[in-house]
Structure 1
Amino acid sequence: MKFTVGIAMSPLEQLPELAKTAEECGFSSIALPDSLFYMQSQSEKYPYTPDGNRFWGPDTPWVDPLIGATAMAAVTEKIHFYTNVLKLGSRNPLLLARQVGSVAAMSGNRFGFGVGIGWAPEEFEWCGVPYARRGARVDEMIDVIKLVLGGGMVEFHGEFYDFDNLQMSPAPTAPVPFYIGGHTAAALRRAARVGDGWTSAMMKYDDIVTTIAELTKLRAEYGRAADPFEIQVVCIDRFGKSGYEELAAAGVTDSIVVPWIFDGLGFDSELAAKQDSLRRFADQYLEGAK
C-alpha cells in the first residue's frame, strides 16, 4: 500500500517545501483538494460531515489544485500529484483539458486527475452552469477530456458539448489516470465504468470495506475486473501499523494521510513542525524511508 500526503488547507507558501520533504521521505504522492470559493450561506448540506456543516471558514487557504501541482512538480523529481477531487460540474471541459494536459506535460507524467461532481449549487450557478442534470453532464465532460488528452485531431458531438475538429498540443506522452470520487451509487458506477481508480472523502473502515466490495462487483459487470484499479482512501478510524495492515488487506492501494494532524498540530502549523511530522511518519511506516 502506498501513502499519499494530504495538504488540504495548508498555507500556500509551505507547499513547495512540503512537497520536497514528502519526496525525500518516500511518500508516493500528494493529494490536492479543491474549493472554488466560500459562500456565506450554503443552500445544501456538506455531504462529508455528520451535521452537514463545512469544517473550514472564509479565510481558509485553498490553492487551485492544478496550479499547486505544477508549482510542486517544479521543485521535485519523483513524487506524484493528484486532485482529491477537482469538482468538474462547474467547469468547462475544453479549458480543463488544456490545463490537465499542461500539468501532465510539465510534471513529466506525474499527475493523476481525481474528479467529482461538486456538492454546492452555488458553485454551479455562480459559474454559469446549471445544477440540474449535473451527473449526466460530468459523464460527458470526462469523455471530452479523455478524448482531447489522447492527442491528435478530435471532434465531439454530444448532448451538452459540441465541437468540430480541434487539437491541443502537446498531448501527454502517457495516459493521465482518472480517479473518480464520490460515495453515492452513481459515483461508484462511474468509477467502475470509466475510472482508473476510486478516491474517497473521509470514511470509516467498515464503509470502505463495503464500498470496495461494491466496486469489485460493478467492475466485473462492466468487464473491467482484470484492469488495474486504485483504491485511494481517507480512513478516519484505522491508524498505526495494524490499522494500515487492515486497510491493505481490505484492498486499499493508497492511504491518504496528514501526519501533522496525527501529531496534534493544526493545518496552519509552522512548516518545520510539519516537516518533522512527515519524517516521523516515514520512519514508522514507509519502507526505505530516509
Structure 2
Amino acid sequence: MKWSLAAAMIGARDLCELARVAEEVGFDSIAMPDSVFYPETVSADYPYSPDGKRMWAPETPMPDPFIAMTAMAAVTERLRFYTNVLKLPLRDPLLTAKQIATMAVMSDNRIAIGVGLSWIPEEFAFTGTDMRTRGTRTDEAIEIVKAVCAGRGPEWVEFHGKHHDFDRLMISPAPDRPVPIYVGGHSEAGLRRAARLADGWISVNVPADELASAIGRLRELRLEHGRADEPFEINVSPTGVRDRDGFQALADIGVTEIRVSPWYLYGADFTSRTARLDAVRRFADEFIGH
C-alpha cells in the first residue's frame, strides 16, 4: 500500500515546504489538481456534490500542476508527483507531451499523469476546444503522450487519428522509463477508458462501497480487453474511512494507493500552514508507520 498526499487548494508558496515534510514522514507521492480558471457563471452542475454546487471560493488557489510538480520535485529526492486529474482535452496533446517528458527527465522519472475530461462547458468554450468530442480527443491524447513518453528516450513518433494527425517527429528530452498514465472517472466510459488505455485508475472522493463496485467493474473490463494480468494501479480517496481496519479493507480489495488530506481527517484548519503540517505528521505517525 502506498500513501499519497492530496494537495488541493494549497497556496503556491506553501507547496515546496509541504512536499519536503511529506517526504520526511514517509508519504510516497503528492497529487495535484488541475483547474485552469473559475468561471463566474457555470452552465452545468458540479457532478460530485448533492446540490450541484462547488465547495470552493473563486479565489481558492489552484496552482498550475505542472509548474508546482516541477518545483516540488526540485526540493525532494524520493517523492513522486502526479495530476489528479489533468483536464487533458483542454490542451494540445503534443505541447502537453513535451511538458510531461521534460518533467519526467528533470525529476528522474518521478512523474505520473492522471487525466480526466472536465465537466465545465465554459472551460471548453473559453479555451476554444470542443466539449462534444472530449472523449475521443482524450483517447487520442493519451496515445500521443504514451508514444512520446514511452521510456526509450527521444525517438521518432507519428500519429494519425480523427482529431490529431502528425507525421514523424522527435521530442527531446524524453524519459528512459515510461510515464504512467492514470484515468479518472466513475462513469462506464471512464472505467472503460482506464481499462483499455491506462496504467491505472483514480477515484473521486466517495465511500468505500462505491469504490468496491468500481474496482469490481474495472476487473471485468480489464479481462474483457485482455489486460487482466498487466500491472494496474488503483488510486482512491475514500470518504468515511478513519481507521486502520478501514484502510486495510481497501487494500484487501485491490487498492494500491490511498490519497488523503489529513487536515480534513482531523478537523484542522486547512488554511493554516502549521495546522496542515501538524496533520501530515500526525497521520504519518498513526497510519504510514504501521
Compute the TM-score of the two structures, normalised by the length of structure 2. Answer: 0.97
Gaps of 5+ in 2: none
User: What is aligned with 1:51?
Assistant: 51
Q: How many residues align?
A: 287
Q: Which of 172, 182, 185 matches 1:169? A: 172
The Cα shift of 1:143 comes to 1.1
Task: Determine whether 1:227 maps to 2:230.
Answer: yes
Partner SS for 2:4: strand
Q: Does 1:255 align with 2:258?
A: yes
Tell me by how many angstroms 1:204 deviates: 1.0
Q: Please tell me whether the aligned partners of residues 32 and 85 of structure 2 are also in contact (alpha carbons under 8 angstroms).
A: yes
Matched with 2:15 is 15
Please, which of 169, 188, 192 is the counterpart of residue 189 of structure 1?
192
Aligned-residue offset at 1:221: 0.7
- Matches of 2:18 and 2:111 in 1, distance apart? 17
Over the matched positions of the two proteins, sequence identity in percent amounts to 50
Do structure 1's residue 133 and structure 2's residue 136 form an aligned pair? no
Q: Check whether the contact 2:16–2:71 (CA below 8 A) recurs between aligned residues.
A: yes
Which residue of structure 1 aligns with residue 268 of structure 2?
A: 265
Q: Which has the higher contact order (CA 8 A, sep 6+)?
A: 1
Summarize the alignment of residues 97-176 of structure 1 with structure 2, pairs less than 5 Å apart.
97-150=97-150, 151-176=154-179
Matched, 1:208 2:211: yes
2:116 partner letter: G
Q: Specify which of 232, 239, 243 is matched with residue 242 of structure 2.
A: 239
**Secondary structure of the structure 2 residue equivalent to 1:89:** helix
* CA distance, structure 1, for counterparts of residue 269 and residue 169 of structure 2: 46
Matching residue within 282, 287, 290 for 1:285: 287
Deviations for 1:222-244, whole angstroms, at most 9, x for unmatched residues?
Answer: 11111111111111122211111
- Structure 1 residue identity aligned to 2:274: A
Q: Is the 8 A contact 2:242 2:265 kept in 1?
A: no
1:89 aligned onto 2:116: no
1:186-226 CA distance string (max 9 Å, x none): 00000001111000111111110000000001001111111
- Structure 1's unaligned 5+ residue stretches are none
The 2-side partners of 1:178 and 1:254 are apart by 15
SS at match of 2:127: coil
Cα offset, 1:127, TM superposition = 0.4
| 1:65-93 deviation digits (Å, cap 9, x = unpaired) | 11110000000000101100000111110
Contact 2:269 2:276 in 1 (8 A): no
* TM-score under structure 1 length normalisation: 0.97
